[in-house]
């Protein structure tokens, strides 16, 4: 056996080894080769990526720091994108970890940061997962990428596909807000408005996925897509100076993001990138779509699906695939999962804007609202180092703010009118 020369040639300076070894069933542990598939044929549970621990452990702080200022600095810890020539990238990631002293003071906290993923190329955290998913799709030889979405995923898939010369087919409910339709359509992929609800769109997608050789980012390449969320764990630890925060608050839609932040923290502790210090993971949902918070509250193991009705549309998944795993993470780490009503989501968007100059989308309002509730109920330690995740830009969800975010006054164009309105004091 003369493996050594091949090894050497596969690790040219800018090509890192792929640490992913296979797919593994999250329920029964059955393993499968790395391939575009997402469900265990034994038990129908979701599949996830498993890694070669020694390859993960070979990644050092120095090798990461020498990488690009994007999520691809962690390519040695991801299942796709190891060859930069095949990588699909708009340079998502490496977003600011903003100290939030004024918000902390208002809430009676000592040390608080906002991980601000509104700074991504299409202004939501979805750019991380899409970049990894489309890189995997290209490596598998797909030339068409597709998804069902209510907005953030749609725009990100259309943008990344455009940049890589891939064909995109994005399916959305026909009654989506104009802003979301425009910001997807502009990239000139195929955009299909379906006369039905998001659930109808999803069902249609599964049917199409069975008939066409396309990479559906949240269906057949979902295990690869999901790993992109690990970078939101890695980055926070690196930006804190290579250590884990004590507490994190994470918004939940399918629950994938929350479980992958935990996966990243555990992995870094195991491989020696950080000290394996204890941390607690808190989940945040809107009251109008709270299946995971509800199960947490009831002490249940399984999720009871709900019909979503909330302004937090980016989190509106009534039957979240990773909900049970998010429950496990919150319980294992000593966290909790709570919800907030819509009026507090709006109030919390404004609080974050007023104190820190960060305009989050409704998902950010959910996170800040849940942080406040957790503090009020004494479940989150106000003295411990805490990171909250703002996963999207407020410009994406203006509608709920229209009634209240108005000018201080509307006046005639004269100095006397300005004085009369009492605006000088
Ligand atoms: C998709 C999304 C999330 C959560 O994603 P899951 O991994 O499905 O839980 C959070 N915030 C925003 C803005 C999103 O678009
Ligand atoms: Zn299984």
Q: Which residues contact 262 (CB under 8 A, 6 or more apart)?
A: 233, 281, 329, 333
pLDDT of the residue at 12: 52
Closest CA to 254 of 296, 287, 218: 218
Q: What is the pLDDT of residue 413?
A: 94
The pLDDT value given to residue 385: 98
pLDDT over 90 (residue 40): yes
Distance CA 306, CA 167 (A): 34
Residue 303, pLDDT above cutoff 70:
yes
pLDDT at 238 over 80: yes
Q: How confident is the model at residue 10 (pLDDT cuts 50, 70, 90)?
A: very low
CA 148 to chain centre: 16
To the nearest whole number, what is the mean pLDDT of the chain? 94
Residue 391 to residues 9, 128, 306, 312, 358: CA-CA distances in angstroms?
Answer: 39, 11, 23, 12, 12
Question: Does 135 score more than 80 pLDDT?
Answer: yes
User: What percent of the chain clears pLDDT 70, i.e. is strictly above it?
Assistant: 97
Angle between helices 178-185 and 152-164 (to 10 degrees): 10
Find the 304 Cα to ligand 2 centroid distance in Å: 21
Query: Averaged over 334-345, what is the pLDDT?
Result: 98
- Cα 332 to ligand 2 centroid, rounded to whole Å: 22
Average pLDDT on 294-308 reads: 95
**Which one, of 57, 27, 59, lies nearest residue 44 by Cα?**
27
Q: For 186-211, what is the mean pLDDT?
A: 91
Mutate to test the pocket of ligand 1, among 314, 370, 389 (most ligand atoms within 8 A of CB): 314
Residue 4 has pLDDT above 80, yes or no: no
Nearest residue (by CA) to ligand 1, atom 14, is: 314
- Residue 1 reports pLDDT greater than 60: no
Please name which ligand lies nearest the alpha carbon of 115. Answer: 1
> What is the structure's pLDDT at 13?
52
Q: Is the pLDDT of residue 306 over 80?
A: yes
Q: Inform me whether the pLDDT recorded for 176 exceeds 90.
A: no
Q: Give the three-state DSSP class for 172.
A: strand
pLDDT level of residue 9 (50, 70, 90 thresholds): very low
Average pLDDT over residues 307-322: 92
Q: Which residues line ligand 1 (CB under 6 A)?
A: 124-126, 152, 251-257, 314-315, 361, 363, 391-392
What is d(CA 7, CA 86) in angstroms, rounded to the nearest whole number? 19
Calculate how far, in angstroms, residue 223's C-alpha sits from the geometric centre of ligand 2.
14
Closest to 151 in 3D by CA, of 298, 361, 322, 326: 361
């Amino acid at each position: 056996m003369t493996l050594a020369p091949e090894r050497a040639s596969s690790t040219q300076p800018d090509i890192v080894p792929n640490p992913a070894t296979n797919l593994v069933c999250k329920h029964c542990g059955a393993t499968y080769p790395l391939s575009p598939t997402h469900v265990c044929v034994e038990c129908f549970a979701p599949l996830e990526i498993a890694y070669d621990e020694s390859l993960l452990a070979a990644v050092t702080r120095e090798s990461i720091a020498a990488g690009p200022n994007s999520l691809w600095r962690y390519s040695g810890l991801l299942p796709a994108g190891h060859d930069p020539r095949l990588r699909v990238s708009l340079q998502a990631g490496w977003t600011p970890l903003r100290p939030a002293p004024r918000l902390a003071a208002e809430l009676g906290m000592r040390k608080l940061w906002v991980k601000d993923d509104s700074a991504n190329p299409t202004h939501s955290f979805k750019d991380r997962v899409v970049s990894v998913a489309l890189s995997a799709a290209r490596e598998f030889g797909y030339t068409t990428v597709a998804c069902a979405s209510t907005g953030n995923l749609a725009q990100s898939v259309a943008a990344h596909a455009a940049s890589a010369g891939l064909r995109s087919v994005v399916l959305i409910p026909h009654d989506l807000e104009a802003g979301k339709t425009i910001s997807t359509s502009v990239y000139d992929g195929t955009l299909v408005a379906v006369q039905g609800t998001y659930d109808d769109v999803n069902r249609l997608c599964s049917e199409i996925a069975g008939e066409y050789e396309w990479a559906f980012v949240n269906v057949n390449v979902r295990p690869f897509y999901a790993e992109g969320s690990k970078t939101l764990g890695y980055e926070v630890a690196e930006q804190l100076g290579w250590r884990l925060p004590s507490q994190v608050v994470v918004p939940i839609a399918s629950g994938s993001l929350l479980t992958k932040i935990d996966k990243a923290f555990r992995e870094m502790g195991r491989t020696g990138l950080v000290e394996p210090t204890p941390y607690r993971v808190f989940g945040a949902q809107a009251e109008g779509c709270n299946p995971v918070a509800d199960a947490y509250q009831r002490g249940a193991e399984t999720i009871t699906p709900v019909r979503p009705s909330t302004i937090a549309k980016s989190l509106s998944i009534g039957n979240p695939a990773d909900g049970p795993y998010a429950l496990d993470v919150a319980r294992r780490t000593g966290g909790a999962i709570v919800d907030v009503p819509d009026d507090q989501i709006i109030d919390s968007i404004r609080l974050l804007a007023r104190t820190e100059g960060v305009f989050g989308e409704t998902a950010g309002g959910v996170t800040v609202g849940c942080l406040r509730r957790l503090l009020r109920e004494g479940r989150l330690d106000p003295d411990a180092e805490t990171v909250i995740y703002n996963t999207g830009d407020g410009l994406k969800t203006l509608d709920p703010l229209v009634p209240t975010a108005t000018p201080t006054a509307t006046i005639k164009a004269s100095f006397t009118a300005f004085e009369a309105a009492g605006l000088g004091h």
